[in-house]
Amino acid sequence: MKHDKPVAGTSKKAANLPVTVPDFIRFKTAGTRIVMVTAYDYPSALLADRAGIDCILVGDSVGTTVLGYENTVPVTLDEIIHHARAVRRGVQRALLVADLPFGTYQAEPAEALRSAVRLLKEAGVQAVKVEGGAPMVPTVRRLTESGIPTMAHLGLTPQSVHVFGGHKAQGKDAESAKKMIEDAVAMEQAGAFGIVLETIPAELACSITAAVKIPTIGIGAGVECDGQVQVWHDILGIIPGKPFRHTKRYAELGAQIEQALSAYASEVRGQEFPGREHSL
């Protein structure tokens, strides 16, 4: 698949070139904001790629947005692989990253390596993401030294929801903020090519962004990050309910889909559909 026209802000040639891991550093150096979004299936990946999204994340948020889980903890590696394979079929340009789900990398770096290898070989992703600070440094080092590009994730790490007592902002006091900056530097030194910063004060995100040469990708972390990531269902308004503070809804597709299905049901019951024009 090729793009029909150049993406806004890029040349036609650049719009058709695949985004690579080294591009992330170049984007930061050039001051080019990185655009990242989650996707969990073929049609969403196809649309995101055509729109010029730089990086698509098959996040373990698939658990809460698609599979109906209460949080991300139950998501399995097989489920991530299943969805990542579908996303892979729709992507031509964007860098494809997948989460290592809870329980597939925490025990030891060797376990993380086995899990990450499956994602690259079976799903065709180009990089993986792991949550956590200092304890994950050996894991990130093992993965990157094994040739697996790895993205770090600091701040509100959803897999630690039970430790935090819910989805709560992190890094709000001086001690935890200092530690998060140190963790970010350690992740960079371990070989991470980027860091997701979730639900932390904007001032702290700014400090972390200045402290590392690799790009920071914010979600609820202010405007000074090198890029932004949002969940597909949040920005498109697919799931009913009040949106998160860090989310801007660019559409209300959930309401439109419900209305369309209601109209379809009404026409079938009223024998208005199908009509002669819909029949052989």
Q: Which amino acid is at 111?
A: E
Catalytic residue among 79, 131, 188, 198, which?
Answer: 198
Beta bridge partners of 218: 197, 228
Q: Which domains does the chain have, with CATH numbers?
A: 12-249 (3.20.20.60), 254-280 (no CATH)
Contact residues for 127 (Cβ-Cβ < 8 A; gap 6+): 21, 95, 96, 97, 98, 148, 149, 150, 151, 193
DSSP secondary structure of 86-145: HHHHH-SSSEEEEEPPTTSSSS-HHHHHHHHHHIIIII--SEEEEE-SGGGHHHHHHHHH
- The overall pTM is greater than 0.85: yes
175 is known as an active-site residue? no
Token representation of residue 54: 């730089």
| pLDDT tens per residue across all 280 residues of the chain | 343 443 444 433 355 799 999 999 999 999 999 999 999 999 999 999 999 999 999 999 999 999 999 999 999 999 999 999 999 999 999 999 999 999 999 999 999 999 999 999 999 999 999 999 999 999 999 999 999 999 999 999 988 878 777 777 889 999 999 999 999 999 999 999 999 999 999 999 999 999 999 999 999 999 999 999 999 999 999 988 877 788 999 999 999 999 999 999 999 999 999 999 999 9
